[in-house]
Amino acid sequence: MRTVNAYAAPSATEPLVKTTITRRDLGPNDVEIDIAYAGICHSDIHTVRGEWGPIQYPQVVGHEIVGHVSAVGSAVTKHQVGDRVGVGCMVNSCGECEQCVAGQEQYCLKGNIQTYAGVDPADGSITQGGYSEAVVVNEDFVLRVPESLDIEKVAPLLCAGITTYSPLHHWKVGPGSKVAVVGMGGLGHMAVKIAVALGAEVTVLSQTTSKQEDSLRYGAKAHFATKDPATFEELAQSFELIINTVSAKLDMKAYLGLLKVDGTLVNVGAPSEPLEVPAFALIPRRLSWAGSAIGGIAETQEMLDFCAEHGILPETELISADQINEAYERVLSSDVRYRFVIDAATLA
């Protein structure tokens, strides 16, 4: 067992504090990773604040992890000491059900093991995430991070990147696809960059026009303020696919009005409050309302390689561990451009 520095939530209502946690001894199929950087996802905040249900405290979150392999178990074949690697939202799954066999471990029929706040099958403990100096993970859930991607910026691809890449692929976005991205935050800005790289015509739907310049710089064709009711008239029946990344409850009926016949609105945003969809918002144009969870391991590798090939990186703001609580407040007020990344060296 190894003791490492970390930042943990002591309860749903207190700020995160510096602490230590233990990492298990390496099993034969385990990889130990010295963490270099960890992104802050809005899911971290939902989780530690108990917004998705009760959790056990203290809890270390963080599921956008990059670093270097520092040790490998005796049977490990996929990774070597020194390799630059990443870990996303999952650290295990049953490996045997039809979803795991199909490479969709995120939909494991027995439930995938989340990187934090899950129950680790290795020892029954609660999994602890990436706001820490090191982590031990089964080699099958460790990704290769291409050398061309700046290690200081790449971490958010492990959640924000794959969570937007997966639905864009599933709904076959390609050249000329008319796509809208709702919410220009961590996930939203990655959705824009990836959809643009796939050749789509992308429109950003943000609360205000304050992020318009960035949207256009990332390749979006247009940026509209959703606070302006005229937006919903002007863009009526304009899109084939809408990716909603918003962490709060939205008026689904208004957004469904922006879809063409046969269009789909995919919810990746996961507000604690239920969303409401009137049947007659869907029926008259044969619309679909869908959800999507992260992506499979092979698909995550494909996304990392795609981002390397297209030179896609998140826009990040590097912080030290003692700035995490302040960063949370800025995420909550939509004041992040566009992902906070913790320098794990500052945990020492």
Question: Which residues lie near Zn ion (CB under 5 A)?
Answer: 41, 43, 159
User: Which CB, 76 or 87, lies closer to Zn ion?
Assistant: 87
294 binds, among ligand NAP, Zn ion, none (CB under 5 to 8 A by kind): ligand NAP
User: Which CB, 159 or 235, lies closer to ligand NAP?
Assistant: 159
Cβ 146 to ligand NAP shortest distance, Å = 22
User: Which CB, 136 or 162, lies closer to Zn ion?
Assistant: 162
Does 323 engage in binding with ligand NAP (CB under 6 A)?
A: no
Site string for ligand NAP, 101-130 (x = CB under 6 A): ------------------------------
Tell me if 191 sits within 8 A of 164, measured CB to CB.
Answer: yes
Rg (CA), the chain: 20
Does 99 engage in binding with ligand NAP (CB under 6 A)?
A: no
Does 187 engage in binding with ligand NAP (CB under 6 A)?
A: yes
Cβ 303 to ligand NAP shortest distance, Å = 13
> Rounded to whole angstroms, how far apart are CA atoms 67 and 143?
11
Q: Which two tokens stand for residue 31?
A: 């990889």
> Rounded to whole angstroms, how far apart are CA atoms 134 and 63?
13
> Rounded to whole angstroms, how far apart are CA atoms 144 and 84?
6
Q: 26-85: which residues touch ligand NAP (CB under 6 A)? A: 41-43, 46
Partners of 8 in beta bridges: 17
Q: For ligand NAP, which residue of 12, 277, 290, 293 counts as binding (CB under 6 A)?
A: 293
Q: Which amino acid is at 1?
A: M
Does 159 engage in binding with ligand NAP (CB under 6 A)?
A: yes
Cβ 258 to Zn ion shortest distance, Å = 26
Stretch that binds ligand NAP, among 107-115, 138-146, 240-248, 254-262 (CB under 6 A): 240-248
Q: 189-208: which residues touch ligand NAP (CB under 6 A)? A: 206-207
31 binds, among ligand NAP, Zn ion, none (CB under 5 to 8 A by kind): none
Binding residues for ligand NAP, total number by CB under 6 A: 31
Does 183 engage in binding with ligand NAP (CB under 6 A)?
A: yes
Does 246 engage in binding with ligand NAP (CB under 6 A)?
A: yes
